Every structure is written in C-alpha cells, then in structure tokens.
Structure 1
Amino acid sequence: MKITAISSNDKQLFEIARILRERSQSDQVDVLPGLLEKLPRFESGSPDLLLVAQPLLNGDDLDRLETLSAQYPDMAVILACTQQTPDFLLQAMRAGVREVMPMPIDGNALQAAVRRIDDKRSYSTRALGKVLAFISCKGGSGATFLATNLGYALAAAESKKVALFDLNLQFGDASLFVSDQRPAASVASVAQQIHRLDASLLFSSMVQVTPNFHVLAAPDDPTQANDVHPEHVDALLRLARQHYDFVLLDIGRSLDAVSVRALDQADMIFPILQATLPYIRDGKRLLQVFRSLDYRKDKIHLIVNRHSNSGDIRLRDCEQAYGMDMYRTIPNHYEAAAASVNQGVPILQLQRTSPISKALQDLARTLAGDSASESRGWLSRILQRA
C-alpha cells in the first residue's frame, strides 16, 4: 500500500513513519513535513492512504480535505488531531475522512486503523479467492500430496496466487511435500496472535514455496492444536480470500469443530479415495456426514487417487457405490510420487511428463478456467445477452 504522511512536527513525522514501516515492509511510506495547506499536488498518482497529523484543523483544512477526497476517491484519509468533539467528528466524516485519531498518536491504534483500511481496500478491489478443501476418506489416500501439488500447479502453470493452510493440526506435514524450508510459524502461532492478524503477519508466517504459492504449516507440537478455534479459521479464511486466488485446505482425516468450520466455508470439497473396498466404505460414511451437515451435492467432488484401469474395482463400480460421478481420477505412478515426497519437490518440477503431473495440470486448468469465468460476473452475462 502507498502511504503519504504529513506533519509540521519533524520528530512526530519520523515516529509516524517508523510505526507505518514496522507494520509492513511491503508498504511504500512517504513523508512530507509541513501543514496540510502546503500539501503538493499528487502528480504521479495519489497515495492509497493520506495521514494528516496536525494538532488543530480549521474549516479551511476540512474544505481542502473534502476537495482532495473528491479529486481522489480511491484515497483514504486518516486525521490525527486534538479535536475530538462530536461536531468536529461529524464535519470530518462529511469531508471524506475515514478515521480521526487523538494525539499523541498511539502506535497500536494507528497500525490497527491502517490495517482496517488495507483490508477494506483489498476486499473491494479484487474478486474473493475460492476455498478448496481436501479431506481423506481413509488414511493414506494421498490427500496432502494432491492438495500441495495442485497448489503448485495452480501457481506455476496457471499463474494464480495460492495459499495452502495445513489444518491437519496434530500430524500435518504439508509443507514438507513441496519445500525443504523450516516453517517460521504455524497455524497455531498465528491463532495465538489473531488479535493482530493482517496480511503482513500472514505472509511472514508462511513458507514461500514460490513467489505466488505460500503454505501455512501445521504446528510441530500436536498439543498446540488446542490453540486453534473455529473463529480463528473464520478470520484466516476471510483475510486469505482477499489476497489469494485460491485457498487450499488440507483437512486431514478427523472431523472436529475446526475442520467442520473450514468445510462449511469451502466452495468445493474434494474427498480423496482409492478404488478399494475399505476406502469406498469409509467414503460412504464421510458422505453421510456431509449430508447431515446439509452440504449441497454440487459442493462435493470425489477424486480417485492412484487409479488404474486394470484394478479389481472399476471406476463404474465406485460411481454405483456412491450414486454419483467421480469428479477426477489421478493415475497411479508410484515411483514419481514417492520421489517427489522423499525429496520435498513438487512432482511438476521433478517429473513434468509423469501422468500424475499431466492430471494435476488438467485439474488446475479446469479450476482456473472456472474461476476466471465466475470473476467476469454479472456485467459479462448482461453483455452476452445484449
């Protein structure tokens, strides 16, 4: 975010700049010494946020701010001043000021105000990302492998911004499938700081697999799973949807309050099974749970992993058992998958010609295409009818 701060007090201006730069290293913070009336024209484009720190403001100052707000409607304004009367606050609001803060400025309050503006700006300027949840019908199904490698495919092959949250909170190891980096933080450590959650905190807590594929790891200590509550999932997904095209969830095997809250918010749920009787039986039980949760049938998309046309149980047998079509099959290529997992390298990077890689690329292409079609929205549909 591009921020410009103006104050006639040089010491105060230095402190404001320090607070703002501490919030996020990705923000561009410019400072202008002087009074509001000395504010120059924004020749190279207005900032996203204008912070005016001036002890006393008069009617001319508010008129000037109202003119600026009209000229630059996308620019948010924060005032820091000693005036805090209801009448002044009402006048400031009418002038287009987003927030009025008392002086001296409190650093935590300023960062919180900037975070609110940044969140609202992100929310209003981009389509919300889609949430895709992967859950095992039975242990060893390959759900983590598919979730992590699909995330890489969406990022590398389709140029999408992708986040993956490892919600297998007790025994998750999703980051190991695609990276050898040691996670700096986890879902649990972010949950412990949920009161200061913003894009900067989230980004800094994630493993950067590629510039546009990030993984938030499960905690190393299984007991820390108790630190993550359903409302934390709400906050994480609300923020991640604003900054990523796709948010992938590795749910794991268990169903509890946290995983159910995540599944509730998912746009698509992918139960992962294999074509064997134990998987089919447990998959049917899982679908019964989904029905009891009132999930729409079109939200559930079954994927058969390690599929082989020569298996004893055919794809048609699976579809008859579930009473629904299989959404996708992922071919069996054990050697390539094992090498990928053992080396912690995405299979598309390690063996691009593997049938697994091709199936994941095809799935990523389909999901990215569906997302692009939805983002065109109501205006495109109207124009198509015209």
Structure 2
Amino acid sequence: MKIAVVSPNKILLNEIGKLLQAASHVAVLTEGGKDKLRQVAEQDQPELMLIDGGYCDGASLAPIEDLTTRHPRIAVVLLCGGCSPDFLINAMRAGVREVLPSPVASAELAATVNRIGGKLRGAQARHAGKVLAFIPCKGGSGATFLATSLGYQLSETRSVLLIDLNLQFGDALSFVHDGRPPSTLADVARSVERLDASFLAASTVRVAPNFSIMAAPDDHAQAVEVTPAQVDAILAVAVMHYDFVLLDLGRTIDNLSIKALDRADLIYMVMQAGLPSIRNAKKMLAIFKSLDYSPDKIELIVNRFDRKGPIGVAEIERTLGKFAIHTVPNSYKHVTAAIDRGEPLITSARSDPVLRNVAGLADAISPRPHAARGLFERLLSRDSAGAASPHSSGEPHVLP
C-alpha cells in the first residue's frame, strides 16, 4: 500500500517510514505541516495519509476536511498527543478514519494500517459501477423519461442509482414517485465529507427494490452552492456501491456537468428527428470533441422516432457522423399519462413499444442471464434477434 506520512518532526517521520517499509509498504515521507497536505495528496496520490502534529483541536481541522472533501478515496489517520472526546467526534465528521496517540506504538500503527488496508482492498475488489449520462439536445427531448425508464429496466437484475444533475429544473423523481425526498443533492454536497454507503442510501428515494434516485435541489439558492468537486466526490462513492449510476443532466455544459461527463462511461445524447434538435446535436458533438471525448463514448437516442417521417436514421448519420444510434418510437398518450401520474411506464403500459425499446437498450448494456428471463423477456429477445450490437460495426444500431 502507498502511504504518505506528513509530520514536522523529522525523527518521528523517519521512524514511521522505517516501520512501514519493513512491512513492505511504499512510504512517502514529507516534513512539514498543513500547508503540505494538498500537495502530497495531488502529487503522490497515496491510498493512506498519516498526519502528525498541530491538528488536535477542532479549530485546526479545516485543512483536514478540505483534504478529505477533495480526495475522498484517500484514508486519513491523525496522530495526536492528546485529544478530547469532542475532538474525536469532530475529527470523524471531518472525514478522518482513525486518531492514534503520538508518538504511536509500532504494534498499534501496524494494526491500524492493516485494518485500513483490508477495507481498501475490499472496496477495490468490487468492480466500480458504470456511469451512464443522459443529456438532451433540446428542451423536451425526453431525456429524463428515458433515464428513469432505463433505470427501472436495469434494476430488474442490477443495483441502480439515478442522480438528478439538472440542478435548476431537475424533476426526475416526479416522473416515477409522488412524494418528497428526505434530502437532495445539495444536502449531500454540503455534508460530502461524511459520505459513505449508508449516508448515500439514506439520502435517496428507493422507487424500486434495486432502483434509487437522488433528487435535484428544490431551490435555486441551494443549486448554485453545489461544486464540481462535490459532485465528483459523490460519484466516487456511488460507483463503489451501485452497478449502474445514471446521470440526468440539463442542457447546460459547464464545469459541473463536465466533471460529471468526464466520469461517464457512456453519454447518451437524446434528440428528435427534427432540424432544431439535429442542429443542437451538432453543436453538442463539437463541444464533446473539444473535450477530447472519444466517439465510442457517445451514443445517440432519437426519441419519438417515426420510421415514415421525412428525416430518417441515414440522414441523421450523414449530418452528425458515425455514432451508435438508437431509436425510440412515439407513444405520446401512454408516456404522458404515466408521467402525469408520477409512475413508471412499466406499471401502466407494459406492452407499450417504447418500453420494449428501452428493455432492448437495457439488455444491450447489461445482458440478463438466460435462466432468469421470463416469457416477456424471451419474447423481446426473440423479436430483437439479429439486431447488430451498437459497437459491433460502424452501422447505426436501431432498436426494434
């Protein structure tokens, strides 16, 4: 394990370094105080930081809290000569894993390092979940409906968290639930230093056994306080505890949305087969190119698609380039009724063609075990047999 040790005491620093190296750890030793913490975290990127000296009262915890907020994956242990029970509580709130006496006994240090190392290895053993981002090319494209519908489909076999990142106008929760959330993204961001699996789960609304939603802030003042670093920290925890993390984004591409898009494994641009939407899609693709996003990271969903309409998949491809293209048919009556009732389409119109297409997309993202498939899923699989994988060739992928 890579361990950084920061202390103004050179003798103590070298003693701890020898103990860690004897246990086959990589020890990065830095002589100094709180002004060195951020530099060490960013340059050396340790898994664990042992910090000694000058942090044994509540007023001195601000740099520690800044460190754990910016780098939530780094475990932090403080070494203190003496501290009060109140300090211990405040230290944990600042994101500190443990507080040890200073100077620390070699056996106690070894036990702490082994304990934290075991937890970190356990977290790394679990494969990080995939991040799927939905972004509309034009207002009313249906990105939120498709994100929530896909979340339901994926949750039949996987754990799913949808995070509403449309901070000013987000209403993803209302598409599938008629209650108020216990907290919002802004609440989680304000306490991001406390974020762990339990806190994350408690801050969401469970709309299905394996599907939860973190609601957008409910007022503008809270929305503007959310920072890109806080969103990144939330996503870092979320991917370790959910198989899929879906992001429902607004149209604005700013520092916050870019931070989220950087983490995305796939970006679904949701559009319609109309000239205004296609023009906006072209502008958005130019932005993504300037951000060095690979074309393989971007797929298009043409919502409310009419196969007999004047603009088809071939015309869209000629204008926008070679991307995987999915189409979803128009089912305005059923979809609007489901949204107005605040319930998923799957509960009110299970045979709707929109649902069949979304189920096909979910199966392409996360194929279901054949043994677990029911009659409905087997029929869907039979209907879509022979459809090309969106990544198997340069041809557009059109769902049945």
Report Cα offsets for 1:290-331 as digits up to 9, x if no partner.
Answer: 001111110010110011111111111111111124421111
1:251 maps to which of 245, 249, 252: 249
Secondary structure in 2 matching 1:302: strand
What's the counterpart of residue 107 of structure 2?
Answer: 91
What's the counterpart of residue 18 of structure 1?
Answer: none
Determine what percentage of the aligned residue pairs are the same residue. Answer: 45
Secondary structure in 1 matching 2:224: helix
The residue type equivalent to 2:113 in the other structure is R
C-alpha displacement at 1:211, in angstroms?
Answer: 2.0
Change (3 A) 1:184 1:121: farther
* 1: CA distance, partners of 2:215 / 2:289: 30
C-alpha displacement at 1:227, in angstroms?
Answer: 1.5
* 1: CA distance, partners of 2:344 / 2:236: 27
The residue type equivalent to 1:185 in the other structure is S
Report Cα offsets for 1:351-375 as digits up to 9, x if no partner.
Answer: 110001101111111111399xxxx
Q: Does 1:149 align with 2:149?
A: yes
Change (3 A) 1:99 1:206: same
What's the counterpart of residue 28 of structure 1?
Answer: none
* 2: CA distance, partners of 1:178 / 1:121: 37
What's the counterpart of residue 185 of structure 2?
Answer: 187
Contact 1:79–1:99, Cα closer than 8 Å, also in 2: no
Structure 1 unpaired stretches of 5+: 1-77, 101-112, 372-386
C-alpha displacement at 1:92, in angstroms?
Answer: 3.0
Report Cα offsets for 1:36-71 as digits up to 9, x if no partner.
Answer: xxxxxxxxxxxxxxxxxxxxxxxxxxxxxxxxxxxx
* 2: CA distance, partners of 1:350 / 1:328: 24
* 1: CA distance, partners of 2:317 / 2:114: 57
What's the counterpart of residue 140 of structure 1?
Answer: 140
Report Cα offsets for 1:130-174 as digits up to 9, x if no partner.
Answer: 000000101110000000110011002xx1000000000000000
What's the counterpart of residue 203 of structure 2?
Answer: 205
What's the counterpart of residue 227 of structure 2?
Answer: 229
C-alpha displacement at 1:79, in angstroms?
Answer: 9.1
C-alpha displacement at 1:199, in angstroms?
Answer: 1.3
* 2: CA distance, partners of 1:122 / 1:152: 28
What's the counterpart of residue 263 of structure 1?
Answer: 261
The residue type equivalent to 2:177 in the other structure is S
* 1: CA distance, partners of 2:248 / 2:224: 17
Contact 1:122–1:242, Cα closer than 8 Å, also in 2: no
Contact 2:268–2:299, Cα closer than 8 Å, also in 1: yes
The residue type equivalent to 2:295 in the other structure is K
* 1: CA distance, partners of 2:368 / 2:205: 27
Change (3 A) 1:219 1:187: same
* Deviates further, 335-344 or 273-282: 335-344
* 2: CA distance, partners of 1:178 / 1:93: 49
Contact 2:295–2:323, Cα closer than 8 Å, also in 1: no
The residue type equivalent to 1:182 in the other structure is R
The residue type equivalent to 1:153 in the other structure is Q
Structure 2 unpaired stretches of 5+: 1-96, 370-400
* 2: CA distance, partners of 1:282 / 1:370: 35
Contact 1:132–1:248, Cα closer than 8 Å, also in 2: yes
* 2: CA distance, partners of 1:334 / 1:200: 39
C-alpha displacement at 1:273, in angstroms?
Answer: 0.4
* 1: CA distance, partners of 2:330 / 2:203: 34
The residue type equivalent to 1:194 in the other structure is V
* 2: CA distance, partners of 1:117 / 1:231: 27
Contact 1:143–1:272, Cα closer than 8 Å, also in 2: yes
* 2: CA distance, partners of 1:341 / 1:325: 30
Secondary structure in 1 matching 2:286: helix
C-alpha displacement at 1:117, in angstroms?
Answer: 7.3
* 2: CA distance, partners of 1:231 / 1:175: 24
Contact 1:302–1:326, Cα closer than 8 Å, also in 2: yes
* 2: CA distance, partners of 1:262 / 1:149: 21
Change (3 A) 1:174 1:117: farther
The residue type equivalent to 1:91 in the other structure is A
* 1: CA distance, partners of 2:180 / 2:174: 9
Runs of 4+ aligned residues of structure 1 deviating over 6 Å after TM superposition are: 78-81
Secondary structure in 2 matching 1:248: strand
C-alpha displacement at 1:80, in angstroms?
Answer: 8.6
The residue type equivalent to 1:155 in the other structure is S
1:303 maps to which of 287, 290, 301: 301
TM-score (norm 2): 0.65
The residue type equivalent to 1:318 in the other structure is I
The residue type equivalent to 1:265 in the other structure is R
